[in-house]
């Protein structure tokens, strides 16, 4: 049985066994049966505990083997040391779906990890799917089936069904977030806690929820990425179905290895890679529980935008200014209204109001509620407006009437309407409830409103984007070498770049002093000289670079000084020679391109300002390789230093197209050598005036060992 089929059985059981059940309904082992009874589970419940003959009138069995009927799902509330025995009994009873509540597994150390591996191996052999361990359970909200002991299951009000599905690795965060969202009138289809993810993990649940016809928004709380490739496939499903996936990931500090071999390694940690993947493939990432609930709220309405052109209406000038400020920070466009639309609004609002965007209808709307609603209706008809933010502080009867009118208008249009309603619950609560029950997104502050709108605009743009990502690299020329080992220094890397069609300076490797004597009079000066050594990767630090060499005498002096300096820096360094190459004298911008193989997502390509600016400014953009040309341009535009390429204060525009093409070629190279390449650094890349191309001035590739390749993505 596939995991998707298994999850369906977990969520829709007809019969449930509770192994280790207790009559103490306040205990972990007593709450599951209490919750099923409380929420009127329509199937069969089989309590299992030799201590009892019955619980609440339901017959209790000594062993799962004594149960007379079939068992769809078994809830296991026993000590971890008994799990192997329980698995034997489940196998004999042909129970293939287990929710394992208990702790004492991988989360407690090596001994627990070993037990978890044994349990998983045995379950896999027996064809048993496990949710957990260290799991509080799951909830089918649509059918009101709680399987577990989460505090949220104890609600007296019942559950609000809806179109949001939620998978959470943490039970505490997951079900507390669910409870808070329910208070915001957000309805759910399913909530699943995956715990230690021994078998069923969060992405399996997200896959199931994306395929569920009643679920239109899927959210996940992650403490780890169980499968990087699967996440990318889920994003493709999300786009094709236009169902957003919202992710809150903990552990965002950089925990990845900080390699000293190249600059790139220090710029791409696991969180960097995750955020890059999310941006590239249209996943919505949020920073905390509040952001997650706000995103659920705006997406659950089911409307999308055609762009980022926003108009705000407010009865407060200050509130309008605040929203304008936030829109600029968040990348939303406060669109200038057409003359026709502005004229219509001017005929509605008081003369001392403002028909500019943000629109200020003034406090006169306290007396004439039609001012707000008629202005809203005008904007609904304007095709140059993609979304409308309606801000009000009105409470009481007036606020209620306005909210009722907003609901009526919202039902008649596909254009998103988002409301900011500030004020106490006593004064604005009734109006807010009207909006919530109708599914109109309503927020208490301007920032929460505009941030949520940003999420909606970004996903709408991605899901409507017809551009496809490359699933495989284009053809790459083969240099005939199979020596993908160790460290490739500058000389070898430049040969590869030339094969890829990326320009490199002409140069000669001077092997020794006798070779120097043969070539020094035949070189084209001026020159740059650089040490070539697998042991000296940052040449400048070792005094391994000399520039502005104009004649043979200067070349000889530079050769000697480099050797002396490098051997002082690293006495045992292997020196393969001194590279003497043409010195680029044309004006240009310094950039860099790097590659880092991420353990979850594979090769990640990085670009940014080059030279010493990499480590100082850390102005970088990241994508998963391979990329297309439009993605390369997007990467460059994300850089704070992008204006340097466009030319500022009279500076010449650089060859951005050539740099973007180089990014694509390197990304294809990285993807072509997936699992083999560890790190790659091309720094600096000299970007000449527009139309004159680029030149790679230095580079390094670190290849993985055979052992590293065998365990990589």
pLDDT for 253 = 55
Q: How confident is the model at residue 255 (pLDDT cuts 50, 70, 90)?
A: very low
CB 635 within 8 A of CB 623: yes
- Check whether 257 has a pLDDT greater than 60: no
Final residue before a domain boundary, out of 582, 604, 633: 582
Element (H, E) at 625: none
Q: Determine, yes or no, domain membership for 489.
A: no
pLDDT for 355 = 87
CB 333 within 8 A of CB 327: yes
Chain segment 3-41, per-residue pLDDT in tens: 999 999 999 999 999 999 999 999 999 999 999 999 999
CB 189 within 8 A of CB 215: yes
pLDDT for 473 = 44
Q: Determine, yes or no, domain membership for 110.
A: yes
- Check whether 143 has a pLDDT greater than 50: yes
Task: Kindly provide the b/e burial profile for residues 426-445, where b requires at least 16 CB atoms within 10 angstroms of the residue's own CB.
Answer: eebeebbebbbebbbbbbee
CB 456 within 8 A of CB 298: yes
CA atoms 613, 617, 618, 620: torsion sign: negative
CATH number reported for the structural domain that contains residue 618 in this entry: 3.30.470.20
pLDDT for 103 = 81
Q: Determine, yes or no, domain membership for 285.
A: yes
Q: How confident is the model at residue 106 (pLDDT cuts 50, 70, 90)?
A: confident
Average pLDDT of the segment spanning 447-465: 94
575 and 673, same domain (yes or no): no
pLDDT for 14 = 98
Final residue before a domain boundary, out of 255, 271, 297: 297
CA atoms 348, 350, 355, 357: torsion sign: negative
The DSSP annotation for 255-311 comes to: -S---SS-TGGGT--HHHHHHHHHHHHT-EEESSHHHHHHHHHHHHT----SSSEEE
Q: Determine, yes or no, domain membership for 30.
A: yes
Percent above pLDDT 70 for the chain: 93
CA dihedral 653, 654, 657, 660 (to 10 degrees): -130
34 and 10, same domain (yes or no): yes
CB 126 within 8 A of CB 8: no
Rounded to 5 degrees, what are φ and ψ at 130? Answer: -120, 135
CATH number reported for the structural domain that contains residue 273 in this entry: 3.40.50.720
211 and 166, same domain (yes or no): yes
pLDDT for 261 = 38
Average pLDDT of the segment spanning 141-157: 95
Q: Determine, yes or no, domain membership for 119.
A: yes
- Average the pLDDT over each of 84-98, 268-282, 320-334, 633-647 and give the range with the smallest value: 268-282
450 and 322, same domain (yes or no): yes
Chain segment 626-664, per-residue pLDDT in tens: 999 999 999 999 999 999 999 877 788 999 999 999 999
337 and 458, same domain (yes or no): yes
Rounded to 5 degrees, what are φ and ψ at 474? Answer: -70, 170
250 and 135, same domain (yes or no): yes
Element (H, E) at 92: helix 83-93
pLDDT for 613 = 66
Q: Is 685 helix (H, G, I), strand (E, B) or coil?
A: strand
Q: Determine, yes or no, domain membership for 497.
A: no
Chain segment 267-313, per-residue pLDDT in tens: 444 788 899 999 999 999 999 999 999 999 999 999 999 999 999 99
Q: Is 347 helix (H, G, I), strand (E, B) or coil?
A: coil
519 and 634, same domain (yes or no): no
Q: How confident is the model at residue 712 (pLDDT cuts 50, 70, 90)?
A: low
292 and 314, same domain (yes or no): no
Q: Is 177 helix (H, G, I), strand (E, B) or coil?
A: helix
- Check whether 262 has a pLDDT greater than 80: no
Chain segment 529-548, per-residue pLDDT in tens: 999 998 988 888 899 999 99
Across the chain, mean pLDDT equals 90
Beta bridge partners of 487: 702
Q: Determine, yes or no, domain membership for 478.
A: no
**What radius of gyration, in Å, describes the C-alpha atoms of the chain?**
32
pLDDT for 557 = 95
pLDDT for 470 = 42
CB 510 within 8 A of CB 580: yes
CB 579 within 8 A of CB 508: yes
563 and 630, same domain (yes or no): no
Final residue before a domain boundary, out of 582, 598, 616: 582
CB 168 within 8 A of CB 220: yes
Is the backbone of residue 518 left (phi > 0), alpha (psi -120 to 50) or beta? alpha
405 and 531, same domain (yes or no): no
pTM for this entry: 0.90
Q: Is 239 helix (H, G, I), strand (E, B) or coil?
A: helix
pLDDT for 707 = 64
pLDDT for 259 = 35
**Strand runs labelled E in 484-619:** 487-488, 507-510, 527-532, 545-549, 577-582, 589-598, 602-609
Beta bridge partners of 674: none
Q: Determine, yes or no, domain membership for 124.
A: yes
572 and 595, same domain (yes or no): no
What is the token pair recorded at 434? 């009207």
Question: How many domains are contained in the chain?
Answer: 4
Chain segment 599-613, per-residue pLDDT in tens: 889 999 999 998 666
Cβ-Cβ contacts under 8 Å for 675 (sequence gap 6 or more): 597, 602, 704, 709, 712, 713
* Host domain of residue 349: 303-464
546 and 411, same domain (yes or no): no
Q: Cα 614 from chain centroid?
A: 24
Return the top range by mean pLDDT from 256-265, 482-491, 590-599. 590-599
CB 264 within 8 A of CB 594: yes
Chain segment 166-182, per-residue pLDDT in tens: 999 999 999 999 999 99
CATH number reported for the structural domain that contains residue 376 in this entry: 3.40.50.261
Q: Please choose, from the candidates 504, 493, 565, 507, the residue with its C-alpha nearest in 3D space to the C-alpha of residue 536.
A: 565
Q: How confident is the model at residue 615 (pLDDT cuts 50, 70, 90)?
A: low
Q: How buried is residue 485: exposed, middle or buried, by Cβ count under 10 Å (0-12/13-18/19+)?
A: exposed
Chain segment 503-524, per-residue pLDDT in tens: 999 999 999 999 999 998 999 9
């Amino acid at each position: 049985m596939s995991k998707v089929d298994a999850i369906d059985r977990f969520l829709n059981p007809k019969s449930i066994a509770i192994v280790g059940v207790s009559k103490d309904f306040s205990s972990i082992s007593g709450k599951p049966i209490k919750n099923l009874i409380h929420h009127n589970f329509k199937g069969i419940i089989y309590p299992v505990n030799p201590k009892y003959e019955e619980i609440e009138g339901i017959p209790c069995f000594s062993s799962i083997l004594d149960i007379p009927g079939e068992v769809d799902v078994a809830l296991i509330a026993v000590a971890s040391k008994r799990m192997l025995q329980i698995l034997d009994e489940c196998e004999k009873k042909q129970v293939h779906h287990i929710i394992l509540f208990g702790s004492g597994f991988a989360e407690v150390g090596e001994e627990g990890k070993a037990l978890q591996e044994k349990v998983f191996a045995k379950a896999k052999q027996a064809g048993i799917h496990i949710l957990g361990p260290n799991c509080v359970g799951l909830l089918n909200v649509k059918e009101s089936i709680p399987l577990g002991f989460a505090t949220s299951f104890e609600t007296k009000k019942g559950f609000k069904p809806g179109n949001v599905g939620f998978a959470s690795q943490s039970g505490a965060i997951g079900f507390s977030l669910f409870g808070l969202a329910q208070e915001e009138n957000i309805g759910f289809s399913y909530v699943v806690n995956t715990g230690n993810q021994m078998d069923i993990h969060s992405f399996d649940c997200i896959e199931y929820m994306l395929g569920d016809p009643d679920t239109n928004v899927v959210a996940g709380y992650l403490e780890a990425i169980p499968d990087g490739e699967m996440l990318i496939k889920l994003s493709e499903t999300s786009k094709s179905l236009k169902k957003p996936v919202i992710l809150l990931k903990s552990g965002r500090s950089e925990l990845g290895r900080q390699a000293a071999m190249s600059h790139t390694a220090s710029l791409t940690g696991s969180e960097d890679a995750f955020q890059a993947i999310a941006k590239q493939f249209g996943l919505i990432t949020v920073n905390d529980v509040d952001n997650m609930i706000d995103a659920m709220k705006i997406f659950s309405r089911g409307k999308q935008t055609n762009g980022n052109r926003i108009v705000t209406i407010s009865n407060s000038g200050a509130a309008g200014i605040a929203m304008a400020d936030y829109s600029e920070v968040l990348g939303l466009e406060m669109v200038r209204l057409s003359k026709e639309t502005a004229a219509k609004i001017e005929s509605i609002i008081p003369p001392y109001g403002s028909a500019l965007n943000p629109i200020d209808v003034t406090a006169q709307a306290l007396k004439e509620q039609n001012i707000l609603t008629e202005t809203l209706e005008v904007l609904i008809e304007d095709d140059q407006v993609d979304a409308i933010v309606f801000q009000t502080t009105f409470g009481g009867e007036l606020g209620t009437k306005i909210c009722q009118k907003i609901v009526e208008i919202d039902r008649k249009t596909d254009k998103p309407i988002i409301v900011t309603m500030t004020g106490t619950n006593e004064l604005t609560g009734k109006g807010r409830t009207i909006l919530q029950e109708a599914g109109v997104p309503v927020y208490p502050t301007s920032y929460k409103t505009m941030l949520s709108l940003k999420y909606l605009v970004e996903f709408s743009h991605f899901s409507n984007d017809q551009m496809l990502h490359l699933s495989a690299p284009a053809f790459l020329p083969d240099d005939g070498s199979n020596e993908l080992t160790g460290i490739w220094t500058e000389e070898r890397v430049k040969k590869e770049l030339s094969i890829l069609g990326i320009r490199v300076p002409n140069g000669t490797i001077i092997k020794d002093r006798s070779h120097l004597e043969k070539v020094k009079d035949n070189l084209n000066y001026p020159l740059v000289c650089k040490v070539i050594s697998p042991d000296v990767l940052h040449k400048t630090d070792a005094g391994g670079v000399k520039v502005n060499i104009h004649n043979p005498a200067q070349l000889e002096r530079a050769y000697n000084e480099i050797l002396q300096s490098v051997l002082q820096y690293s006495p045992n360094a292997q020196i393969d020679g001194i590279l003497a190459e043409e010195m680029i004298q044309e004006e240009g911008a310094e950039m860099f391109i790097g590659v880092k193989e991420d353990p979850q997502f594979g090769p990640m390509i990085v670009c940014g300002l080059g030279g010493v600016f990499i480590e100082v400014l850390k102005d970088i953009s990241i994508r998963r390789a391979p990329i297309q040309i439009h993605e390369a341009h997007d990467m460059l535009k994300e850089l704070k230093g992008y204006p340097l390429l466009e030319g500022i204060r009279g500076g010449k525009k650089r060859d951005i197209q050539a740099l973007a093409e180089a990014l694509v070629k390197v990304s294809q190279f990285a993807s072509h050598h997936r699992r083999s390449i560890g790190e790659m650094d091309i720094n600096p890349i000299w970007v000449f005036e527009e139309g004159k191309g680029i030149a790679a001035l230095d580079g390094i590739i670190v290849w993985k060992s055979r052992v590293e390749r065998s365990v990589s993505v």
